[in-house]
């Protein structure tokens, strides 16, 4: 608390402290964990993340001992008010020009037994992510020989005092008090408090603080229905499946409500399969299933029949919602007896006559009442909310259980960045069985308020271009496989409304990035995620603008990386050989933890146990972080071959081959390296390519480029086409099978 008591004397005059306390307690609901880590007496250096102008007030509210803050010296020269405030509060000014003097003053305060707080990022984060930590705080602690205590707080991003929406202050204030959670970590001895260790501690504490958000305990369908009911007039989806059809929030709610009531009464199954392309039908079916208290399972209709049968058997799926047009397009799908056409199902539920009262209710009732009429629970938390099936790019299908907490967390994490603001118009072309298509282009827009323009397939490049041009799409998210054809078929003027293009699923080739930038003057930003992380874990974002005189440029993106971790996530790097923890800057297996990480595979404790290590999800990707916190993916562990005791990366070899031979990938992937069993060395490398090339030419080029002899493929086989999954990823399982077949026959 801020009000003085017998244990401490405030830096502020009593009247000013009283006003600050009342104001802060009115606007914020602050909870704390780890207060026992603050020493009752003696000096200690607190280091915290910095995301708003009111961080100092909230942190002082959370910590009973008085804190002396360190603030940017530029404020004192900007206005007399700040100079007066610094003097009144005893705040220590710091800048690059007075760093030594500030260090001396901080060390003296620490040695005198005070608590001093430093924001080591050097300023308020304008990206919503933890920025690079500047050096200097460790010297302050060492000079005074006091511990460093990391402190992470969560909840202030999005307030008027943060840079959410790329601006301070001038945005709509929150009407309800803001929930803030402050997590205080264990003291770190001064001689061990390196920027790397403190950064890792802040990430860990930030993930714990994020887990305390009240919204994560809520029920997904209720959280979707309420914002839709607040904006019934707004066009939510522009469906371009056949002809252009705008669908408002009220229409979505009306149809979904009627269908939900019908499903609740007539379909006893807990999980209901959905086989629909992106579009209004897919939105309605998924929302209705959730509102009915059931679990949607969007099935990958591009997978083989045996894989689909295994998925449906695993999920206990005996009821599927689809469309007659869809059934004719995928005749090999193992349609169950209870397969319903969406239009006929809506008609059976009462049709327009039943829908109209719900549309009116969306217009006239408060959003909470609408949700109550549907009898939607208030709490979902860790219960199953959705089921997706994945085999990645290799292996058998696995049922990925996503909870209400997972989906709400990932939507909140994406919302904290600048890439998908409420004003965005998003192209929804990724299939709904794709985790990105499911979370980011289905649930997120309904929750956040983005408009979605849908086309049924990401392979229909012409439809994609027309949708972007005619409906003024601003954000396009897709795999490189789906982005690449735009180079041949789109004119620059047709894509001029795009502000942002984000690539995921596969590594973004440097050539595609360069060609897209040259052709359309749009930089493709790379992201990273997995179905098991719901899916977004990292993403690059545009550099935030500099809008104040005291602000310095900040970095939001780096070429060759997949961006920083989303807020609320933390990571470890472990050795692929020993499993020992490595520094984050060394390459090893990436492990993740956060509210968006799934709880486990459906009815598969063995796979679940193999995928988690002491509570950390083991991604199977070889990766490392740079000093600014950007993640660099080296490749999948399964895409390395151990030859002669050395880990040989398939992806690196592919990239070098494509660059050295200057192959054009506009029409799709042209070269894939895979491993096949080898009696002598355990595994041998094979190059599959759509181009004409001899092994001798390949060997000569790679050796001349300086690649080790171990990295040279042992065989080259030409194929008509590199197999690709419906998600846009290369089908490495099929590639390996092809390579093994070629090896047996040659």
By the 8 A CB rule, do 43 and 193 touch?
no
DSSP assignment of 385-429: EEEEEE-TTSSS-EEEEEEHHHHHHHHHHHHTSSSS-TT-EEEE-
pLDDT at res. 653 = 83
Average pLDDT of the segment spanning 609-613: 90
pLDDT at res. 149 = 94
Average pLDDT of the segment spanning 6-22: 60
Res. 6 pLDDT band, cuts 50 70 90: very low
Res. 705 pLDDT band, cuts 50 70 90: confident
What are 333-374's pLDDT values in tens digits?
A: 999 999 999 999 999 998 899 999 999 999 999 999 999 999
Claim to verify: residue 592 and residue 446 sit in the same structural domain = yes
> CB under 8 Å to 741, separation ≥6 — which residues?
none
pLDDT at res. 484 = 85
Higher pLDDT, 665 or 142: 142
Claim to verify: residue 621 and residue 665 sit in the same structural domain = no
pLDDT at res. 52 = 82
Domain of 309, in residue numbers? 220-625
Beta-strand runs (E) in 306-381: 319-322, 338-341
Claim to verify: residue 282 and residue 353 sit in the same structural domain = yes
Q: How far out from the chain centre does Cα 376 lie?
A: 27
Res. 5 pLDDT band, cuts 50 70 90: very low
Claim to verify: residue 406 and residue 465 sit in the same structural domain = yes
Give pTM, 2 decimals.
Answer: 0.86
Higher pLDDT, 221 or 175: 221
pLDDT of residue 418 exceeding 50, the answer is yes
Please give the structure tokens belonging to residue 399.
């049922």
**Of the candidates 625, 657, 686, which is a domain's last residue?**
625
Res. 247 pLDDT band, cuts 50 70 90: very high
Question: Within 13 A of 297's CA, how many CA atoms are on the CB side?
Answer: 27
pLDDT of residue 392 exceeding 60, the answer is no
Instruction: Report yes or no on 638 lying in a domain.
Output: no
Average pLDDT of the segment spanning 167-189: 80
Instruction: Report yes or no on 429 lying in a domain.
Output: yes
Q: How far is Cα 134 from Cα 121, in angstroms, rounded to an integer?
A: 6
Average pLDDT of the segment spanning 3-16: 49
What is the residue whose two structure tokens read 């066009």?
A: 235
pLDDT at res. 584 = 93
Q: Enter the DSSP assignment of 601.
A: B
pLDDT of residue 122 exceeding 80, the answer is yes
**Of the candidates 153, 180, 212, which is a domain's last residue?**
212
Average pLDDT of the segment spanning 597-606: 93
Please give the structure tokens belonging to residue 305.
């029949």
By the 8 A CB rule, do 601 and 588 touch?
no
What are 538-586's pLDDT values in tens digits?
A: 999 999 888 766 667 888 999 989 999 999 999 999 988 788 999 999 9
Q: How many CB atoms lie within 10 A of CB 166?
A: 13
> CB under 8 Å to 605, separation ≥6 — which residues?
none
Claim to verify: residue 53 and residue 123 sit in the same structural domain = yes
**Three-state DSSP class for residue 630:** strand
Claim to verify: residue 228 and residue 207 sit in the same structural domain = no
Burial class (CB in 10 A: 0-12, 13-18, 19+), 553: exposed
pLDDT at res. 57 = 82
- What's the structural domain count of the chain? 3
By the 8 A CB rule, do 698 and 663 touch?
no
Average pLDDT of the segment spanning 715-744: 77
Helix axes 650-661, 510-520, angle to 10 degrees: 50
Instruction: Report yes or no on 3 lying in a domain.
Output: no
For residue 188, which phi and psi values (nearest 5 degrees)? -110, 125
Claim to verify: residue 498 and residue 433 sit in the same structural domain = yes
Instruction: Report yes or no on 229 lying in a domain.
Output: yes
**Of the candidates 212, 233, 263, which is a domain's last residue?**
212
DSSP assignment of 580-596: -EE-TTS-EEEEEEETT
Which secondary structure element, helix H or strand E, spans residue 475, and what is its range? strand 475-478
Length in residues, the chain: 746
Instruction: Report yes or no on 533 lying in a domain.
Output: yes
CATH number of the domain that 723 lies in? Answer: 3.30.300.30
pLDDT of residue 276 exceeding 90, the answer is yes
Instruction: Report yes or no on 630 lying in a domain.
Output: no
**Three-state DSSP class for residue 257:** helix
Claim to verify: residue 163 and residue 191 sit in the same structural domain = yes
Claim to verify: residue 332 and residue 229 sit in the same structural domain = yes
pLDDT at res. 8 = 40
Average pLDDT of the segment spanning 321-332: 89
For residue 500, which phi and psi values (nearest 5 degrees)? -150, 135
Instruction: Report yes or no on 357 lying in a domain.
Output: yes
What are 42-87's pLDDT values in tens digits?
A: 999 999 999 888 888 888 888 888 888 886 665 656 655 666 666 6
pLDDT at res. 14 = 66
Claim to verify: residue 420 and residue 274 sit in the same structural domain = yes
Claim to verify: residue 276 and residue 359 sit in the same structural domain = yes
pLDDT of residue 159 exceeding 80, the answer is no
Please give the structure tokens belonging to residue 601.
């595979």
For residue 422, which phi and psi values (nearest 5 degrees)? -60, -25
Res. 135 pLDDT band, cuts 50 70 90: confident
pLDDT at res. 550 = 65
Exposure string for 37-65, b = 16+ CB within 10 A, e = fewer: bbeeeebbbbbbbbbbbbbbbbbbbbbeb
pLDDT at res. 372 = 94
pLDDT of residue 185 exceeding 90, the answer is yes
pLDDT at res. 701 = 78
Please give the structure tokens belonging to residue 87.
């003097």
**Three-state DSSP class for residue 270:** coil
Instruction: Report yes or no on 2 lying in a domain.
Output: no
What are 188-228's pLDDT values in tens digits?
A: 999 999 999 999 999 999 999 999 999 999 999 999 999 99
Q: How far is Cα 669 from Cα 732, in angstroms, rounded to an integer?
A: 12
Res. 393 pLDDT band, cuts 50 70 90: very low
Question: To the nearest whole number, what is the mean pLDDT of the chain?
Answer: 86
Q: How many CB atoms lie within 10 A of CB 600?
A: 18
CATH number of the domain that 352 lies in? Answer: 3.40.50.12780
Average pLDDT of the segment spanning 309-325: 92
How far separated are the first and last CA of the chain, in Å rounded?
Answer: 77
Claim to verify: residue 272 and residue 413 sit in the same structural domain = yes
Q: How far is Cα 573 from Cα 436, in angstroms, rounded to an integer?
A: 24
The residue among 469, 428, 407, 420 whose CA lies nearest residue 237 is 428
């Amino acid at each position: 608390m801020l009000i003085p008591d017998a244990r401490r004397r405030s830096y502020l005059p009593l009247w000013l402290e009283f006003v600050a306390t009342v104001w802060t307690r009115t606007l914020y609901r602050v909870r704390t964990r780890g207060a026992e880590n603050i020493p009752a007496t003696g000096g200690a250096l607190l280091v915290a993340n910095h995301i708003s102008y009111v961080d100092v007030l909230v942190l002082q509210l959370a910590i009973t001992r008085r804190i002396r803050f360190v603030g940017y010296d530029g404020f004192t020269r900007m206005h007399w008010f700040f100079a007066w405030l610094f003097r009144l509060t005893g705040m220590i000014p710091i800048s690059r020009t007075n760093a030594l003097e500030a260090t001396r003053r901080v060390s003296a305060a620490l040695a005198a037994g005070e608590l001093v707080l430093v924001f080591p990022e050097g300023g308020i984060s304008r990206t919503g992510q933890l920025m690079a930590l500047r050096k200097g705080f460790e010297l302050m602690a060492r000079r005074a020989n006091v511990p460093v205590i990391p402190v992470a707080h969560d909840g202030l991003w999005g307030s008027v005092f943060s840079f959410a929406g790329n601006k301070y202050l001038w945005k709509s204030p929150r009407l309800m008090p803001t929930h803030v959670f402050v997590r205080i970590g264990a003291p770190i001895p001064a001689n061990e408090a390196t920027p790397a260790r403190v950064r890792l501690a802040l990430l860990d504490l930030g993930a714990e603080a994020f887990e305390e958000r009240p919204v994560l305990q809520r029920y997904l369908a209720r959280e979707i229905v309420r914002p839709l009911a607040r904006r019934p007039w707004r066009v939510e989806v522009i469906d371009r499946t056949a002809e252009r059809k705008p669908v408002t929030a009220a229409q979505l709610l009306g149809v979904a409500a009627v269908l939900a009531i019908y499903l609740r009464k007539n379909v006893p199954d807990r999980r209901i399969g959905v086989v629909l392309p992106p579009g209004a039908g897919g939105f309605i079916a998924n929302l209705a299933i959730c509102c009915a208290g059931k679990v949607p399972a969007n099935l990958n209709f591009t997978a083989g029949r045996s894989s689909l049968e295994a998925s449906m058997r695993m999920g206990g799926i005996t009821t599927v919602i689809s469309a007659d047009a869809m059934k004719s397009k995928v005749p090999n799908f193992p349609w169950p007896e209870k397969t319903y056409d969406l239009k006929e199902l809506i008609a059976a539920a009462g049709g327009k006559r039943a829908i109209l009262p719900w549309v009116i209710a969306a217009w006239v009732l408060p959003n909470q009442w609408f949700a109550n009429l549907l009898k939607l629970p208030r709490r979902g938390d860790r219960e199953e909310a959705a089921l997706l099936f994945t085999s990645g790019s290799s292996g058998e299908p696995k049922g990925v259980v996503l909870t209400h907490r997972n989906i709400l967390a990932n939507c909140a994490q994406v919302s904290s960045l600048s890439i998908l603001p409420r004003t965005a118009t998003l192209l929804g072309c990724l299939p709904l069985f794709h985790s990105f298509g499911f979370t980011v282009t289905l649930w997120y827009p309904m929750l956040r308020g983005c408009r979605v323009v849908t086309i049924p397939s990401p392979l229909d490049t012409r439809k994609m271009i027309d949708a972007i041009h005619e409906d003024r799409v601003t954000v396009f998210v897709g795999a490189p496989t789906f982005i690449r054809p735009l180079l041949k078929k789109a004119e620059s003027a047709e894509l001029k409304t795009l502000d942002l293009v984000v690539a995921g699923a596969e590594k973004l080739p440097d050539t595609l990035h360069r060609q897209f930038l040259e052709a359309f003057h749009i930089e493709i930003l790379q992201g990273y995620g997995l179905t098991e992380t719901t899916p977004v874990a990292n993403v690059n974002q545009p550099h935030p603008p500099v809008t104040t005189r005291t602000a310095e440029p900040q970095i939001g993106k780096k070429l060759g990386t997949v961006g920083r971790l989303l807020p609320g996530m933390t990571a470890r790097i472990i050795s692929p050989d020993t499993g020992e923890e490595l520094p984050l800057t060394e390459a090893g297996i990436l492990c993740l933890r956060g509210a968006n990480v799934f709880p486990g595979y459906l009815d598969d404790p063995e796979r679940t146990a193999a995928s988690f290590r002491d509570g950390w999800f083991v991604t199977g990707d070889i990766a490392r972080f740079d000093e600014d916190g950007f993640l660099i993916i080296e490749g999948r562990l399964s895409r390395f071959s151990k030859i002669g005791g050395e880990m040989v990366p398939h992806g690196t070899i592919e990239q070098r081959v494509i660059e050295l031979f200057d192959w054009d990938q506009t029409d799709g992937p042209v070269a894939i390296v895979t491993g096949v069993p080898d009696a002598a060395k355990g595994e041998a490398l094979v190059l599959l390519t759509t181009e004409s090339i001899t092994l001798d030419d390949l060997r000569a080029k790679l050796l001349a480029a300086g690649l080790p002899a171990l990295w040279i493929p042992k065989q080259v086989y030409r194929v008509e086409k590199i197999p690709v999954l419906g998600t846009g990823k290369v089908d490495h399982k099929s590639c390996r099978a092809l390579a093994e077949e070629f090896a047996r026959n040659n």
